[in-house]
Amino acid sequence: MPAKPDRQAALEQYRRRSGVYDLELALFEPIRREAIVLLAPRPGETVIDFGCGTGLSLPQVRAAVGARGHVVGIEQSPEMIERARQRVTSRRWRNVELICAPVETAHWHGKADAALFHFTHDLLQHPEAVANALGMLRQGARVVACGLRWAPRWALAVNAGVYLAARRSITTLAGLEQPWRELERQLGPMRSASRLFSAVYIAHGQRH
C-alpha cells in the first residue's frame, strides 16, 4: 500500500463495495453506536458525519438531534452517497443534507456543533482534509473518531485480521499505530480507548 491515501483507489474500492458495505460493517455496529453516544448529539444541534458512506450513522444521529436539528453527511464516493440518499428519501428526512465531495474540498455554509469520523482512516491521514473538516466546526464542537488500528505487536492474530480488513477498506497502512494523530494535532488533546482486542479505537475531543 502507498504511504499516502490514494483517492482514485479509494473511489474504485468503494464503488466495488457499495452493494455489500452495510453487511460488511455489521460487525462494527456496536462501535458506531458507542461512538455516537460518546459524541452526545443534542436536540437542535447540527452534526456532520464526515465520510458518511451509505448513511448508516444517520438514523441514530438524526434521532438525537430531533426535527429541529440538522445532519450533514459528506462522502466522496458517488455510489455510496447514492445509497445514503435512498435512505434519506425513503424516510422523508427533511433535515438531512448530503454532499458528494472529497472532504478536503467540500464546502458547507455553517458551523456544526459536533462531528463524527467513523472508519475514515484515509481521510484522517490527509492533513488538508482534517483542516477543512475542522473549519466547518464551531469552537468547542465535540469530535469523535473511530476505526481500525494496529494492536500490540505480540497480538499477531488480531493484527492479521486488521490487515485483512484494511486491505478492503483503506488505501494506506500509514498511521495505523495511532490513526487519530493528525486529528489530535489540529484539534487539541483527545482521549482514546481500544475495542475488539485493540483492533479498533475510539477517540474523542473538542475543538479548541
Does 1 reside within a domain?
A: no
Number of domains in the chain: 1
Q: What is the mean pLDDT of residues 128-132?
A: 98
The pLDDT, as a whole number, for residue 108 is 95
Does 46 reside within a domain?
A: yes
Does 16 reside within a domain?
A: yes
State the residue range of the domain holding 116: 7-203
How much is the pTM? 0.97
Q: Does 31 score more than 90 pLDDT?
A: yes
Residue 146 · residue 196 · CB < 8 Å: no
Q: 115 in helix, strand or coil?
A: strand
Here the cell at position 81 is 452517497
Does 154 reside within a domain?
A: yes
Does 123 reside within a domain?
A: yes
Q: What is the mean pLDDT of the chain?
A: 97
Q: Does 3 score more than 90 pLDDT?
A: no
Q: Does 153 score more than 90 pLDDT?
A: yes
CATH (domain of 23): 3.40.50.150
Q: For 57-95, what is each residue's pLDDT tens digit? A: 999 999 999 999 999 999 999 999 999 999 999 999 999
The pLDDT, as a whole number, for residue 208 is 85
Does 48 reside within a domain?
A: yes
Q: Does 131 score more than 80 pLDDT?
A: yes
Does 2 reside within a domain?
A: no
Residue 146 contacts by C-beta under 8 Å, 6 or more apart in sequence? 31, 32, 34, 35, 117, 118, 119, 200, 201, 202, 203
